[in-house]
Amino acid sequence: MFDTMTMTKIIGGLCGTFLVFLLGKWAAESLYHVGTVSHAEGEEHAMAYPIEVDGDTGGGEAEEVVDFATLMASADPASGEKVFGKCRACHKLDGSNGTGPHLDGVVGREIAAVGDYSYSSALAELPGGWTPEELDGFIADPRGYAPGTKMTFAGIPKPEDRVDLIAYLESVGG
């Protein structure tokens, strides 16, 4: 029933179908392109007919800025323990170092102060200590806070999660 020619026809039909879809996608993208159009190298033109919306500032919704002290006052260490799950792969709370330095007692500790851990020069050169405010800035965007740090974690974007984590680290401080 199924010989070599039948299988060849089936496989050819599938490849032809995928080719039709690929060409259709290419044609649709060229017809309905959204964004800046580049006709020649160095020559760009904005698309026509922007749609104006009342009250639009062009930047999307503005984030509501909440005072850090207010956030810290409402921080939940139990929730911070759950957030610490993101840190657990590299950091420990038992005084031993993992991929990163141990975090027990980190709140209030000098930056790059764990003696048996080899810090990057980006952190070793930072002055001061890990106050809750400093930790908040670092946890939000480690590479933005200390460019060149060895910490590859992208950061925790939600301020509530960061203050919960800081409250948890304060509660387990050694």
Provide the residue count of the chain.
Answer: 174
For 97-120, what is each residue's pLDDT tens digit?
888 998 888 989 899 988 888 998
Q: Would you state the pLDDT for residue 38?
A: 54
- Residues 44 and 62: their CA atoms lie apart, in Å, by 29
Single pTM value for the model: 0.62
Domain ranges of the chain: 1-32, 68-171
More confident residue, 36 or 15: 15
Q: What is the DSSP secondary structure assignment for residue 63, as one 8-state letter? A: P
- Residues 68-171: name the CATH superfamily: Cytochrome c-like domain (1.10.760.10)
DSSP state at residue 65:
P
